[in-house]
Amino acid sequence: MAVIGLVLLTGAAAVATRSANALGLEERVAQHRLANGLTLLLMERHQAPIVAVNLTYKVGGVHEHNGITGVAHLYEHMAFKGSRTIGVTDARKEQPVLEELDRLAEAITAEKTRGPAADQTRLSALRKQFAETEAKADSFVVPAELATLYQRHGGVGLNATTGKDLTRYFLSFPSNRLPLWAAVESDRMANGVLREFYKEKNVVLEERRQRTDNSPSGRLHEAFSAAAFQAHPYGLPVIGWPSDLDGLSKARTEAFFQTYYGPANAVLTIVGDINQKDVIALVEQTFGRIPARPPSPPVLTTEPPYAGERRVEVEYVAEPQILIGFHKPGTGHPDDEVFDVIESLLSDGRTSRLHKRLVQEKQLATSVSAFSDYPGALYPNLFVIGATPRAPHTAAEVEQALYEELDRLKKEPVTPRELEKILNQIDAAQVRALRSNSGMASRLGYFQAINGDWRETFKRRDRIAKVSPEDIRRVAAQCFTKSNRVVATLVRPPKQEVESKP
């Protein structure tokens, strides 16, 4: 295998900066679809006897609405608690206890939602019962059994992420333990159990305190997204509103799992020291047994068109920060790559336009960056620029300077050298991506899940090569207007409020 790899790559090296599929990805990646709809991507890399797996589900914050915000992320936490066979001593005896716990939780929520009329005596009686039942449920728990199985067999980097569009589970391990992984992971896909559900809500609330409530940028981003989308779920926080998390029932969470965690919603990518044929057989034997589920419902809400700048301020005791967003189309639009090119022009590297102008020349900011698909990629989203002003300069000065740079895009054609630099960067990034099994698995799985085709990893490059200076001028003029933008700034609260508390 190593010899074949070398031959392929030696041939590739000479054309690395010209051809997008220079590294022979088309030949090296195998795609297989199971009868139940699961998509499997495989790539052999035999540098070390290890393998990286990435299981990506096409579900995330975008499938939520007010009332159940945070459910996709909470479920991701629950997926580490095991299944009907893992993480429990006796699932049959556990089940009625869990059901009793749910009844008590629902009763507490019902009582609490009566607000000032809530019966406090009843509430505290219910809470006492709840605590006792929870202790009983705990007695069935085999703590961290899933992670223990993986770690004992050398698994590393076990984790997961939840975003707007995707929820991704991943780890790496010695490649001869693939059967163990397939058994555990297919069990987790088919037989998720919401164990330690109520405790995990508290863990997530701590995560929210850490990422959002006590973080200046976390607060700013939450308010910014909420201001940008009045209808589309991209405006909702993935971590969830605290009250939604508190009230979220297990029944709603279970329904969410049943709706979105079907095999047809999953892309499974495996990169490393594997034999493709063996792995296909293994996956068929395990994941292949999972019954197909009905297709998950589409996201119906679209953001209604509107005109008019929206501005929000977030008061918090911290130095200023600013976020500016412009509405734009989502994945699949013919201008997709034009925005990608603009993002690179503006903020990739020290020679990018915003860094040169705002950080180096005018020294108005300590950092500035642009993202072309905020907060998700799949649906119409925002082109966002974020900056941290450098004292004594203000957010207003930074904002003005940013608009001047955006106006330049509308007026002056971009130079061929700038475009060539971007292509060189993309080509080199494609080569570097192949250094890591987990990075490659993540990349292939991402494009398969978002664009429906892992080949986008290199097809995209060819479209970027076709972007012209006129395309950039046209898209900039269309998108970067006052009536299309959302601006959020972090400001200090009025003085007297600051001093009232230590």
- Which residues in 394-433 contact another protein (CB under 8 A)? 417, 420-421, 424-425, 427-429, 431-432
Contacting another protein within 69-88 (CB under 8 A): 80, 85-86
Which of 149/323 has CB closer to another protein? 149
Q: From CA 387, how far away is CA 398, in angstroms rounded?
A: 8
Q: How many CB atoms lie within 10 A of CB 287?
A: 22
Among 139, 363, 400, 415, binds another protein (CB under 8 A): 363
**Dihedral sign, CA of 74, 79, 82, 83?**
positive
Region of 62-70, 98-106, 198-206, 245-253 interacting with another protein (CB under 8 A): 198-206
How many C-alpha atoms does 184 have within 13 Å on its Cβ side? 25
Q: From CA 238, how far away is CA 164, in angstroms rounded?
A: 7
Contacting another protein within 332-361 (CB under 8 A): 349-351, 360
Q: From CA 132, how far away is CA 148, in angstroms rounded?
A: 27
Which of 233/389 has CB closer to another protein? 389
Q: Exposed, middle or buried by CB within 10 Å (0-12, 13-18, 19+), for 437?
A: buried
Among 5, 24, 288, 469, binds another protein (CB under 8 A): 5
CB-based contact 70:244 (threshold 8 Å): yes
Output the smallest distance, CB 398 to another protein, in A.
Answer: 13
Which of 125/317 has CB closer to another protein? 317
Q: Does residue 468 belong to the site contacting another protein (CB under 8 A)?
A: no
- Residue window 296-315: x/- pattern of binding to another protein, with contact defined by CB under 8 A: --------------------
Region of 97-105, 275-283, 325-333, 467-475 interacting with another protein (CB under 8 A): 275-283
Contacting another protein within 437-456 (CB under 8 A): none
Nearest to 31 by CA among 22, 23, 42, 44: 42
Which of 114/199 has CB closer to another protein? 199
Which of 2/35 has CB closer to another protein? 2
- Residue window 9-38: x/- pattern of binding to another protein, with contact defined by CB under 8 A: xx-xx--xx-----x---------------
Token digits of residue 363: 């020294």
Among 303, 319, 335, 399, binds another protein (CB under 8 A): 319
Q: Does residue 210 belong to the site contacting another protein (CB under 8 A)?
A: yes
CB-based contact 212:239 (threshold 8 Å): yes
Q: From CA 284, how far away is CA 417, in angstroms rounded?
A: 49
Q: Regarding beta strands 156-162 and 167-174, do their DSSP bridges make them parallel or antiparallel, or are they unpaired?
A: antiparallel
Q: Does residue 203 belong to the site contacting another protein (CB under 8 A)?
A: yes
Output the smallest distance, CB 498 to another protein, in A.
Answer: 9
DSSP calls for 86-119: SSBS-HHHHHHHHHHHHHHHHHHHHHHTTGGG--
Token digits of residue 200: 């995990």
Q: From CA 110, how far away is CA 103, in angstroms rounded?
A: 11
Among 46, 84, 250, 252, binds another protein (CB under 8 A): 46
Q: Does residue 188 belong to the site contacting another protein (CB under 8 A)?
A: no
Q: Does residue 180 belong to the site contacting another protein (CB under 8 A)?
A: yes
Q: Does residue 391 belong to the site contacting another protein (CB under 8 A)?
A: yes
Which of 230/285 has CB closer to another protein? 285
Output the smallest distance, CB 417 to another protein, in A.
Answer: 7
Q: Does residue 7 belong to the site contacting another protein (CB under 8 A)?
A: no
Contacting another protein within 119-178 (CB under 8 A): 138, 143-144, 146-149, 151-156, 158-159, 172-178
Output the smallest distance, CB 336 to another protein, in A.
Answer: 22
Q: Does residue 214 belong to the site contacting another protein (CB under 8 A)?
A: yes
Which of 68/274 has CB closer to another protein? 274
Contacting another protein within 472-501 (CB under 8 A): 501
Residues 6+ apart with CB under 8 A from 321: 216, 217, 220, 386, 387, 388, 389, 395, 489, 490
Q: Does residue 2 belong to the site contacting another protein (CB under 8 A)?
A: yes
Among 199, 333, 408, 482, binds another protein (CB under 8 A): 199
Q: Outline where DSSP puts E strands in 62-186.
A: 156-162, 167-174
Question: Looking at the DSSP assignment, which residues form a beta bridge with residue 365?
Answer: 389
Alpha carbon 85 to its chain centroid, in Å, reads 29
Token digits of residue 280: 């296909």
CB-based contact 488:309 (threshold 8 Å): no
Output the smallest distance, CB 408 to another protein, in A.
Answer: 19
Q: Determine the size of the site formed for another protein (CB under 8 A).
A: 99
Which of 169/229 has CB closer to another protein? 169
Output the smallest distance, CB 18 to another protein, in A.
Answer: 12
Among 161, 249, 275, 478, binds another protein (CB under 8 A): 275
Contacting another protein within 234-273 (CB under 8 A): 273
Output the smallest distance, CB 172 to another protein, in A.
Answer: 7
Cβ burial 237-272 (10 Å sphere, 16+ → b, else e)? bbbbbbebbebbebeebbebbebbbbbbbbbbbbbb
CB-based contact 420:469 (threshold 8 Å): no
Torsion of the alpha carbons at 55, 56, 61 and 62, rounded to the nearest 10: -160
